[in-house]
A = this chain, B = another copy of it.
Amino acid sequence: MNRVEMAHGSGGQAMQQLINQLFMDAFNNPWLAEQEDQARISLSTLTAQGDRLAFSTDSYVIDPLFFPGGDIGKLAVCGTANDVAVSGAIPRFLSCGFILEEGLPMDTLKAVVASMASTAQEAGIAIVTGDTKVVQRGAADKLFINTAGMGAIPADIHWGAGQLTPGDVLLVSGTLGCHGATILNLREGLGLDGELRSDCAVLTPLIQTLRSCQGVKALRDATRGGVNAVVHEFAASSGCGIELTERGLPVKPAVRGLCELLGLDPLNFANEGKLVIGVERQAAEAVLTQLRAHPSGKEAAIIGEVVERKGVRLTGLYGVKRTLDLPHAEPLPRIC
């Protein structure tokens, strides 16, 4: 069988074979091996790590499926793991639901599954339960993945956007917009192939270094909508304003070039491996040092602060302050 057929989603023999020969083998772990309708996870393994369960989900519809720096499978593990990890939890367990288009080359599915498996394994995450649906040719574009993830939040960590108060400082863990720029370049054939690479990564190791930091108040990974979407969420949740400094924003030259070419703002571009962190002012330098000491945080920077006056503003390169609106839509659909 070198293409996905309707039978692979039907609950008959063909589906059993796909599950046994592909998924069970790639995601191999004791929970999945039980082959019940649900994974059964000892609650004591979770309570040993924290007092609250962090639970999050995302669907992945990115087009194209493969791109420099990753693919939809890697993204489906990283994206959901990061949504769990920004709570302070270590993501441990993932569910995985595939929606496949009839006719999808089996090699494409295998490559995606292998990428999910290796990304999960590297991050210490087990894919413990799953589901496969197949829809007719034309009823879905190639392949969609949903993952839901969980982990336990340590009892002493209470990060949340609602904790931010005026005077707090905002940092990012690295350069902005790499994922969005990579996909845009690829889809529009802009020819910057060698220089652009998605930042798609599991952020748990970097986040773990922040667990011992005093003064960390809120963490979020900047994905769809970019850093701009996160700071708008921070502003809404905290009831404060946010002011960013354009000079402080770390952006790779290739991304900056592409943005200038197209008149787009890297603040609105999707990332898949970047944190926005809100910290107490007196902790900002220490947190920055801590971030920069980690390979994933080398280009971390202070980008702004939380202020009393509501709204989100950006101080430009020439010192002029302007309101930073959240766009109605992101420049690119199907970015993740």
Query: Which residues from chain B contact A115 at a C-beta distance below 8 Å?
Result: none
Please report the C-alpha to C-alpha distance between residue A45 and residue B150 in the assembled complex, in whole angstroms: 16
Which size class do A's interface residues fall under?
35 or more
Hey, what's the 0/1 contact readout for A302-326 against B, CB within 8 Å counting as 1?
0000000000000000000000011
Q: Is A301 an interface residue (CB 8 A)?
A: no
Query: Which residues from chain B contact A50 at a C-beta distance below 8 Å?
Result: 43
Query: Which residues from chain B contact A42 at a C-beta distance below 8 Å?
Result: 51-53
Which residue of chain B is the closest to A89 with respect to CB atoms? B38
Query: Which residues from chain B contact A223 at a C-beta distance below 8 Å?
Result: 11
A292 to chain B, nearest CB (A): 24
Contact status A11-B57, CB under 8 Å: no
Q: Is A84 an interface residue (CB 8 A)?
A: yes
Contact status A57-B95, CB under 8 Å: yes
Q: What copy number does this chain have within its complex?
A: 2
Q: Is A167 an interface residue (CB 8 A)?
A: no
Query: Which residues from chain B contact A86 at a C-beta distance below 8 Å?
Result: 37-38
Q: Is A9 an interface residue (CB 8 A)?
A: yes
Contact status A55-B328, CB under 8 Å: no
Contact status B128-A224, CB under 8 Å: no
Which residue of chain B is the closest to A218 with respect to CB atoms? B36
Contact status B56-A51, CB under 8 Å: no
Q: Is A41 an interface residue (CB 8 A)?
A: yes
Q: Is A181 an interface residue (CB 8 A)?
A: no
Query: Which residues from chain B contact A139 at a C-beta distance below 8 Å?
Result: 61, 63, 140-141, 334
Q: Is A196 an interface residue (CB 8 A)?
A: no
Query: Which residues from chain B contact A55 at a C-beta distance below 8 Å?
Result: 38-41, 93, 95, 128-129, 150
Contact status B221-A37, CB under 8 Å: yes
A32 to chain B, nearest CB (A): 11
Contact status A43-B35, CB under 8 Å: no
Within 212-227 of A, Cβ neighbours of B (below 8 Å) are at 220-221, 223-226
Within 111-161 of A, Cβ neighbours of B (below 8 Å) are at 128-131, 133-136, 138-141, 144, 146, 148, 150, 152-153, 160-161
Q: Is A58 an interface residue (CB 8 A)?
A: yes
Contact status A160-B36, CB under 8 Å: yes
Query: Which residues from chain B contact A138 at a C-beta distance below 8 Å?
Result: 138, 141
Contact status B43-A328, CB under 8 Å: no
Q: Is A12 an interface residue (CB 8 A)?
A: yes
- Shortest Cβ-Cβ A-B pairs, 5 listed: A11-B225, A11-B224, A7-B329, A148-B148, A146-B146
Beyond the given A57-B96, A129-B148, could you list 12 further A-B residue pairs with CB under 8 A, ordered by the A residue number? A5-B329, A10-B330, A15-B225, A40-B52, A44-B51, A57-B129, A59-B98, A131-B146, A135-B334, A139-B141, A144-B144, A146-B148
A-B contact pairs, 15 of them (CB 8 A): A12-B326, A12-B328, A13-B327, A15-B225, A34-B160, A37-B87, A37-B220, A38-B84, A38-B86, A40-B54, A43-B152, A46-B53, A57-B96, A58-B97, A58-B131
